[in-house]
Structure 1
């Protein structure tokens, strides 16, 4: 009897080992969209096929799922991919996803939208073609209250522990990538392209996000290369080429009630080439919310013929008149700002504009080794403008600083 008992236990142990080993080697199930009904003819709307494939991949219990978009042009009229999913999903795009040229054919705010997902990976050599050219003339909401709502290319909301790598976003109707309440997300090797005169085609826009990494990315648009909005914290940007565009912008901030602090930003090894702005922080005068912008580091930044290389604007007013004097000063507090090894050329004489709030002056602004010359001027003559700034400078300083 003892021998039988021992043999039974040994058999159970072996079966357990086999089950564990088999689980560890389970390969992801591949869903090739073309083999599951999607047509790469650039005409057939594949939205239903894509959402059906996503549903099956998302519900799969044993092992991860891989959705594969092969070479070819897959027209999509607008899709939403919604979790929560049972297992990680890898979305590989080697073909082209083509948006409708007519903006009214997209019946949602974002053309391709991911929501409530953990452990999502998007990669590939493919392209998201927003076909924005037909939409850009309608992007006039600051003058036309009846302007149509234009869709952003790809959005992420409540997506965590995820990443996007290598793909190209081309000619968005509005912004290219939009992030809201996204945490622990890596963006690397991405290319974002739209003409410099395409309105509101921000490259990457994020609000209420944390622990985001953006690296080895090329962005050229008609608006901000990267826009950092309310509630964004622990953002690390490195090895990014920006141009054309409006630079890397924090804000605008303070316009709406219940906005949150923006803090802990690091920008390193970035090149701004021909942009209207480089390092930019913009807050509304007479802001509706009292928030803090703090712990920002900009280091090893090259400016090539940039309109406003360093620009803190706490009297932001994109469409004047704004009646500044009647509205009052900004209530956004900027503090603990470090600018180190910023160099290159400025299109304009004012290379460093630090225009802070009178009620909430900028505090602890640190300037180290600044060397920005006015392009085309023999002596490189450029100037600084300071309002309500407290801080200190050291190292090489051109133009001469004007800190208190």
Structure 2
């Protein structure tokens, strides 16, 4: 029987509401900083939108990318390119045959700025004024297409779409590509750029956004009894995945191992999770099984935890079901309290947080929890980081999406 190829993480890249790279983002997260702030525009007044704040990326793409790149890429692709270049450099810019190099970069919504701007142009100025690059800019696979061009990836370029689980599922698919022998290195992650009046108005209409306009930085409050919805965010997270053999052969620095990938679907409701958490339990159980990990090995969970009334507690009940009494020693972090919800980029960024937590033995805090919900079933890391134990450890990153998509990734020390 052929043994399963071990997959490790050798590069990290991000642009987020907390910073323009991984180092600044991680430092801000450990410091318990929020990236949410009042929007400097007139959208709320002009369109009667009840939400006036969001978690915008901290460093603007025009400060990083060349002007021609800005013109031919939707913001979601711009973010992915910034994160990819950091991750690739962080991995040592490995020399590799493009036929052994893959890319998987997902988005929950895709090039919505380009789509909506294009429609405005057509209505107001006519078909002759449409940009020739409109379709390549708006298509959901635009980010991964540009990433594959950037690094010369020919083993496959894929864009999975599973709403807010998209970034994590992309990483899981990248792991599978390496395990299947299709590639030795895969650049994987997620990106999103939806801080636009239409998506904000749409999410507000669904009553899933926080309405704390007077306190943007305190608005995302997972597990707090007064939580009232998520804060929309934007950005990208990219990891370089590599077979352990390939990484060792080139002497690469290894952050951690992606030991297991668990996927499931609820088949319950288009937006609400199965209240029994059956799909979430299945995803975590499968990921732990793939990793060869026991409940007692899990010391940290980076939760999906968007700050919604139902979703937060469904997840903690699922964690308790999977881990049993071992959940008592797990350190739970809800980093969306600081970054906001990056939608299709969330799972990728939170995978980076989980990798950093395992690598540095430090769980990031959850902020804004003044009164923890009495039904919270897992110990929560609040306000300041918490140390993770020495030895062999495992951590879980959960990502769930509208439509009932569930992804759990198990990260272990290398």
**Fold conserved between structures, TM > 0.5:** no
Q: Which of the pair has more CA radius of gyration?
A: 1
TM-score normalized by the length of structure 2:
0.23
TM-score normalized by the length of structure 1:
0.24
Indicate the structure whose relative CO is greater, using CA pairs within 8 Å and at least 6 residues apart: 2
Greater helix share, 1 or 2?
Answer: 2
Greater strand share, 1 or 2?
Answer: 1
